[in-house]
Chains A and B, each alone.
Chain A
Amino acid sequence: MATSSIELALNRLRETRAWRSVFRRGPARTNRTRSLAIFGNIFLHLMPVKVREQSLRVRATYYLGSFSFLLFLMLTVTGILLMLYYHPAVPQAYLDMKDLRFVVSNGVFLRNLHRVGAHAMVIAVFWHMFHVFYRGGYRPPHEFNWVVGVVLMLLTLFLSYTGYLLPWDQLAFWAITVGTNIISAEPVLGRDVRFLLLGGNLVGENALLRFYVLHCVILPLVAGMFIAIHFWRIQKDGGLTLRENQE
């Protein structure tokens, strides 16, 4: 095999002290070194070193889980960008939302990307769940990962719900009023939970700030941890659930 000049340059780069200090091993030429490349990389260590060929086919998963995760990443990026123009205060929040739509360059694009992405993520997560359910992905040895998946579905819904208040328009206000009244209908704890969630008795400044912190900090962090567990458990449980005739 003829070695191109690019490969030669890359090989020379791999010999440098800086490269070796970062990657600590030579080029991944054998299965062993390829495995080590996965295990030794913090971003890839959740990934399996080997997968069955059937698992990679489109019809095995339709990539619904990957699609949900990609949407989560996209929502994180667009959400952080939106945070740069948004103040979680009354009535500034509504004005900032209007500014994002009409004043900020490409603001309307980012906002809509975040909004449509959020809808798409809810759809993707549910589709993923149905698909896994119909494949029997809740059965041993995947029971625990199924439960983690259900938690992730709930986190997706909570993220969706907390984000819904942030534009601070009539739709947001009444959706949260109605939703938190549903919480207070729960016996014994309901009213206290509503009071803590809203930071008061009505949907006001405290509620907006609390939903903002939940939406931008607490829920994404918790979701990130559960996503890590979810990915890790796929390989620990021995890969995807495949259809009987594909095994």
Chain B
Amino acid sequence: MSDSDTATAVVRSEISRRDFLNDVAAGALGIAGLGAMVVTYRYLSPNALFEPLTTFRAGNPGLYPVNSVTFNQDQQVYIVRTQEGFYAVSAVCTHLGCITQWKPDANMIACPCHGSKFKSDGTKVEGPAPRSLPHFSITLTADGELLVDKMETIKAEQALKA
């Protein structure tokens, strides 16, 4: 488009053809770039994980005497039985993920890494752990065994009644 054309032509638009095409191209590149970021993010998040199952059977409830804490080494969970019923308490310290230990003499769950202490129901007694140990969902299977789901945390008062 020559200068004389633009001078005489009726002003149809504020933006020139070049600006319009530049904006369209930049917009298209922007959309494509955003799409590439989303696609890359989804590529980097694995869909199939070859990690251990989060649910496990903890055996017959009769295995656990009343007022006992049993450490399940493989699952890193304490199965606690009190007068009221059963809890499944996580053994993973809420501070930085170390595996805590049940100390029967002190009636405490203690973390070897930084010295956090918890009661047998997971309640925090002493830091640096920021929170109490979480309780996992604990149910009975049809054939009468305890089933713990480590993906589902429940409130401490929701114990499985004995």
Please report A residues at the B interface, Cβ cutoff 8 Å. 174, 177-178, 181-182, 195-196, 199-202, 204-206
From B41, B46, B96, B97, give the contact of A206 (CB < 8 A): B46
Please report B residues at the A interface, Cβ cutoff 8 Å. 41, 44-46, 49-51, 96-98, 113
Main DSSP-derived SS at the A contact region: helix
Q: Are A200 and B98 in contact (CB under 8 A)?
A: no
From B45, B50, B51, B97, give the contact of A178 (CB < 8 A): B97
From A181, A196, A201, give the contact of B44 (CB < 8 A): A196
Chain B residue nearest to A202 (CB atoms) is B51
Given contacts A200-B51, A202-B51, A204-B51, contact A178 B96 (CB under 8 A): yes
**CA–CA, A58 and B89, complex, Å:** 61
**Residues on the A chain within 8 Å of B98, using CB:** 174, 177-178
Given contacts A195-B45, A196-B44, A196-B45, contact A205 B97 (CB under 8 A): no
CB distance from B86 to the nearest CB of A (A): 25
Pairs across A and B, CB under 8 Å, 28 listed: A174-B98, A177-B96, A177-B97, A177-B98, A178-B96, A178-B97, A178-B98, A178-B113, A181-B96, A181-B97, A182-B96, A195-B45, A196-B41, A196-B44, A196-B45, A199-B44, A199-B46, A200-B46, A200-B49, A200-B51, A201-B49, A201-B51, A202-B51, A204-B50, A204-B51, A205-B50, A206-B46, A206-B49
**Residues on the B chain within 8 Å of A200, using CB:** 46, 49, 51
